[in-house]
């Protein structure tokens, strides 16, 4: 079997996305979101966001996913979305 016929388990399983840092690491910072992708897996829904510095972060927070769904129309129409990530009591939110 040649290398062109070989794929890694990481590629098949989507585990690469779960190696991304958590969006919650950016609490208190203003971010500019340039791309949003949604997915689902064994443990439920998740989102991957790309920031203006080209770094990617992931979240499975229902509150953040709901807010990202509100942003997706703007992002897919070529607009970046600026927001600050905050922690409120037991959850994270954009403001």
- Digit-coded pLDDT (tens) for 30-52: 999 999 999 988 889 999 999 99
Residue 54: pLDDT band (50, 70, 90) is very high
77: Cβ–Cβ under 8 A, 6 or more apart, which residues? none
The pTM assigned to this predicted structure is: 0.81
**73 pLDDT above the threshold of 60:** yes
The span from the CA of 14 to the CA of 41, in Å, is: 9
The span from the CA of 41 to the CA of 46, in Å, is: 8
Question: Which of these, 62, 29, 27, lies nearest to 43 by C-alpha position?
Answer: 62
**78 pLDDT above the threshold of 80:** yes
What 3-state class would DSSP assign to 10?
A: helix
**1 pLDDT above the threshold of 50:** no
What is the domain partition of the chain in residue ranges? 3-94
Q: What is the CA radius of gyration of the chain?
A: 15
């Amino acid at each position: 079997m040649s290398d062109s016929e070989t794929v890694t388990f990481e590629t098949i399983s989507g585990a690469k996305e779960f190696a991304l840092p958590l969006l919650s690491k950016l609490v208190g910072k203003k971010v500019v979101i340039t791309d949003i992708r949604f997915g689902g897996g064994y443990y439920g829904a998740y989102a991957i966001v790309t920031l203006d510095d080209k770094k990617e972060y992931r979240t499975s927070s229902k509150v953040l996913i709901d807010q990202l769904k509100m942003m997706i129309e703007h992002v897919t129409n070529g607009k970046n979305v600026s927001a600050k990530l905050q922690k409120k009591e037991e959850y994270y939110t954009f403001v």
